[in-house]
Structure 1
Amino acid sequence: MDANEQALPIVFVHGMRVSGTMWRAVIRAIGTRHPTAAPDLPGHGTRRGEPFTMPGAVAAVAEAVDELGGRALVVGLSLGGYVALATAAAHPERVRGLVAMGCTTLPRGPVAVAYRGMARAGGRYPEAVNRLSAFALRRGLPRPLAEAMVAGGLSSETMPDIVNSVAGQDPLASLAAYPGPVWLVNGERDHFRRHERHFVRSCRQGRLVLLPGRGHLTSLADPAVVARQVLDAAAVAAPGPGQG
């Protein structure tokens, strides 16, 4: 890719069942201003068939950061947001800043129960759930976003491992452990906003950004808006002169 090698790299982390292709439109909107990567997590896309674990997902993100020079802004949505939080806590020296989207609900209580039920269906009937998911994405999202979501294939068989892995995390502790700047970005109508104030209070340098009228996945419906938020975060997170 033609990119400005002096600019802070950006690593994008995808959500559950989909792959790195979901970020295509946002990466296209950023263009050549920053080096970018959107790796597939274990069990997804080009890595379908591998077991999903949170340590494996964190390792995939860290490897992508290393391939871009060793430091990056990390951007994640939904599952990708939880993975980004875990990566920042595990490797603060690699993560210059964090944009965590649609992941400010604690993975416990009624939400966890509902997602465990969905996960069981995905584990037992993956191809049927993949077809249903693709249909729902194409019906509920703008066409370019829907096609980006399904372009790398869907992996519903990973859902039980993902839900168990996320339920075993403490995202508030991850935020408290991370010293860098954090942007918590939620669609105004996102059902994953439930505990956003707790998340903001756990950050050492945190701020909350709401996208008016957007939901969980439709937060990506206007790639230019998301790209502008990411570029603004990259400008803040970029190392100053002499910091490398």
Structure 2
Amino acid sequence: MLPIVLIHGARVSATMWAPVLSRLDRPATAVDLPGHGTRRGEPFTMEAAASAVADAIDALGGRALVAGLSLGGYVGIATVERFPDRVAGLVAMGCTARRTAWAGGYRLAASLAARNPHLADRISSYALRRLFPGPAGEAFVAGGLSCEVLPQVVEAVTGHDQLAALAVYPGRVWLVNGSRDPFRMHERDFLRACRDGRLILVPGRGHLGVMAAPGPLARLIGDLRAQAAGGRWRGGARPEPRGRR
């Protein structure tokens, strides 16, 4: 069976995927990015993050479906650019805002968080638990939070050309967005950049909202794994065909 590698969002860690991982058929794993979780304190660059994903793929046999949410989606895009032969397909979730969107605001927020990361971590932990009551929220914070790395993350994302990266990847790409996610704003540009892309909208969900229902998300990722391995769509949220460029 085709392995799956899952990539977490900014300031959290691989543990955010625990409720989804428990529902996925193995082989599947979640990776900690530099500066996060077990790699807290390491410098974050897009090159180092993509290499961490490639290492996780190699540990599972050398080829995998890669799925990431938010920062994880942007890292997934960088991974297919740098290691296309290792990625059998990419599921990029909540990451279709172009690199210049809100860059100034995010730099300011990241700078403020890094000035007092302990306070920022506590605020983030409280907010995540309120947003996702129960096991989903606990999974987000279980590996610790790393707000001190946010300035590096913002510079890495804004310094990477995601559309150019997608344009050189020959494999399948599924862009998955909550219908209420503000990061949808440039989804059609991202879709046009893909050589073999599909857009999937999850009704009623915001930026991180897909994590509130780990069962349906695990089924969706499992379906996309089957497609990446050569199977057919089995149900769930249906993809929209890629628009013509």
- Is 2:91 aligned against 1:99? yes
- Is 2:17 aligned against 1:17? no
Distance in 2 (CA, whole Å) between partners of 1:174 and 1:239 is 24
- Is 2:208 aligned against 1:217? yes
Structure 1 counterpart SS, 2:41: coil
Which amino acid is the alignment partner of residue 50 of structure 2?
V
Would you say the 8 A contact 1:8–1:72 is kept in 2? yes
Distance in 2 (CA, whole Å) between partners of 1:127 and 1:151 is 15
Post-superposition Cα deviations, 1:129-180, rounded to whole Å, max 9, x if no partner, equal: 0000001111122321110000000000000000000000111111101100
- Residue 60 of structure 1 is matched in structure 2 by 52
Moved over 3 A (4+): none
Instruction: Report matched runs for 1:1-244 at 5 Å.
Output: 7-30=1-24, 33-109=25-101, 111-238=102-229
Distance in 1 (CA, whole Å) between partners of 2:133 and 2:171 is 34
The offset of 1:239, in angstroms, is 5.9
The offset of 1:220, in angstroms, is 1.1
Normalised to the residue count of structure 2, the TM-score between the two structures is 0.92
Post-superposition Cα deviations, 1:164-204, rounded to whole Å, max 9, x if no partner, equal: 00000111111101100110000111111110000011111
Which amino acid is the alignment partner of residue 90 of structure 1?
R
Normalised to the residue count of structure 1, the TM-score between the two structures is 0.93
Distance in 1 (CA, whole Å) between partners of 2:105 and 2:132 is 22
Would you say the 8 A contact 1:16–1:78 is kept in 2? yes
The offset of 1:238, in angstroms, is 1.3
Structure 2 counterpart SS, 1:162: helix
Distance in 1 (CA, whole Å) between partners of 2:57 and 2:88 is 10
The Cα RMSD (Å) is 1.0
Which amino acid is the alignment partner of residue 76 of structure 2?
A
**Residue identity (%):** 58
Post-superposition Cα deviations, 1:70-108, rounded to whole Å, max 9, x if no partner, equal: 000000000000000000111110000000000000010
Distance in 1 (CA, whole Å) between partners of 2:176 and 2:228 is 16
Which amino acid is the alignment partner of residue 179 of structure 1?
P
Which amino acid is the alignment partner of residue 155 of structure 1?
S
The range that moved more, 221-230 or 153-162, is: 221-230
Q: Mind listing any 5+ residue stretches in structure 1 that lack a counterpart?
A: 1-6
Which amino acid is the alignment partner of residue 92 of structure 2?
A
Distance in 1 (CA, whole Å) between partners of 2:18 and 2:3 is 16
Structure 2 counterpart SS, 1:114: helix
The offset of 1:34, in angstroms, is 2.9
Structure 2 counterpart SS, 1:38: strand
